[in-house]
Amino acid sequence: MKAHVITDAVFCLHADIETTDLFEGIWPIPSGVSLNSYVVRGEKIALIDLIRDWINAPRQIEDALNSIGIDFEAVDYLILNHMEPDHTGWLREFREKNTKAEIITTAKGLNLIKSFYKTPETGLRAVKDGDTLDLGKGNVLTFYETPNLHWPETMITWDNASGTLFTCDAFGSFGKLGERVFDDEFNKEEHVFFEEESLRYYANIVSSFSVFVERAVKKLESLDIRCVAPSHGIVWRKDPQTIISRYLRYATYAKGPAEQEIALIWGSMYGYTRRGLDAVIRGIEREGVPYTLHRIPDENISYVLSAAYKSAGLVLAMPTYEYAMFPPMAYVLDIFHRKHITGKTVLRIGSWGWVGGAKKDYEAAIEGLKWNHLESLEWAGAPGEAEQIALEARGQELARAVKRN
Ligand code: FEO
């Protein structure tokens, strides 16, 4: 990999990760992910954000550094905007190669360095909001604390000379980059792919912290941002506002209103709940509202979460299982709770065999999510004609409510 030139003093280095490993040990990345680091070169050299030793990432970054005539030993400052190990896991190895570089992060970040990496407590500097670092030749970096974006210690680094904002996880996405990194180098189809992957990344990683996304954007709004440089995904030099606006839109989904779409999340043991769901779909289609279907547990929660997060309406279709909720739905609702999937308009339906029982379990699981509920509909065994008519009407009612969103 070669370094990518942002200006004659600022460079992007990236490692493409292709793996069957799960990101954070939870989220699948079938199209990979990039780990981006950056160099700002004045009289001194700053390396911004690191990598973990994952699918040859250190070698990829080293090759990119070498392509601009730098090696790890030449780095004067290592700036760590965020301490999650995808950006810091290689810290001990970096330290073995470079014993002189000052490692710069927030005070909370220093605590995490000590707890994760047990490094000697030398060569570490804590910075706070508004502190600067003069690299010489007109390159002055400014640090802005952006707590809970998405960890408590996070900060964003600003290079005034180039107008580049180094944001680490914020404004990032899943998806490897290949030979290109800049927004103007990808075609429309590729941008559609990265938009889907940025939504999934946001829903999976950032959604619980949406209020802090809004707070950070507000804090930085006076800067003349000419390039947004995240540590995952595309570098936005042509139209940085695209990704900033996109993230602000995603942040609003956390409190509603979301998109006028319906995510139908369903599980069925022998097809009777699915038969009822088909009637609901007929009602939705009559209103022309777009919908997506997500069978659980077949579909990975990462994708279910992404669809639910952006949709104003949800249908949760599940059978009663041993007097309680269908277990895969219980897992989905637990994740929804953790990721703050709030403010939705929701219809719950399902079939039961001997006796119902999902209701009580369900109501306990969704407490606090501030959902607007349509009246639930359950039936014994297969849905009869009267039930199918009622289910179709309920689907239409939901679609109309979503259109009013
Ligand atoms: Fe990319 Fe929160 O680490």
Residue nearest atom 1 in ligand 1 by C-alpha distance: 169
Instruction: Quote the CA–CA distance of 129 and 200 in Å, as a whole number.
Output: 30
Find the mean pLDDT for residues 88-113.
96
Instruction: List the residue whose alpha carbon is closest to atom 2 of ligand 1.
Output: 84
Q: Is 3.40.50.360 the CATH number for 259-403?
A: yes
Is residue 261 within 8 Å of residue 317, measured between CB atoms? Answer: no
Q: What is the CATH number of domain 4-253?
A: 3.60.15.10
- For the cut 80, the answer to whether the pLDDT of residue 256 exceeds it is no
Contact by Cβ (8 Å): 15, 231: no
What pLDDT was estimated at residue 120?
A: 64
Spacing of C-alpha 308 from chain mean position:
14
Cα(317) to ligand 1 centroid in Å equals 33
Burial 324-357 (b: 16+ CB within 10 A, else e): ebbebbbebbebbeebbbbbbbbbbbbbbeeebb
In this model, does residue 121 exceed pLDDT 80? no
What pLDDT, in 10s, does the model give residues 362-390? 999 999 999 999 999 999 999 999 999 99
Beta partners for residue 136, in sequence order:
none
What's the pTM?
0.96
C-beta 49 within 6 A of ligand 1: no
User: Which ligand 1 atom minimizes the distance to the CA of 150?
Assistant: 2
> Which residues of the chain does CATH 3.40.50.360 include?
259-403
C-alpha of residue 390 to centroid of ligand 1, in Å? 46
Measured N-to-C along each axis, helices 301-310 and 188-201 cross at an angle, to the nearest 10 degrees, of 100
Mind listing the pLDDT tens digit for each residue in 175-214?
999 999 999 999 999 999 999 999 999 999 999 999 999 9
Report how far ligand 1's centroid is from the alpha carbon of 149 (Å): 9
Tell me the mean pLDDT in the region 5-16: 98
User: How many residues in total does the chain contain?
Assistant: 405
Q: Is the CB of 86 under 6 A from ligand 1?
A: yes
**Per-chain mean pLDDT for the chain:** 96
Q: How confident is the model at residue 136 (pLDDT cuts 50, 70, 90)?
A: very high
Query: What is the CB neighbour count within 10 angstroms for residue 8?
Result: 9
For tokens 């998405």, name the residue. Answer: 150
pLDDT at 400: 98
Quote the CA–CA distance of 264 and 257 in Å, as a whole number. Answer: 18
Query: HSE of 266 in the Cβ direction (CA atoms, 13 Å)?
Result: 25
Ligand 1 near 82 CB (within 6 A): yes
CATH 3.60.15.10 placement within the chain? 4-253
Q: Is the CB of 153 under 6 A from ligand 1?
A: no
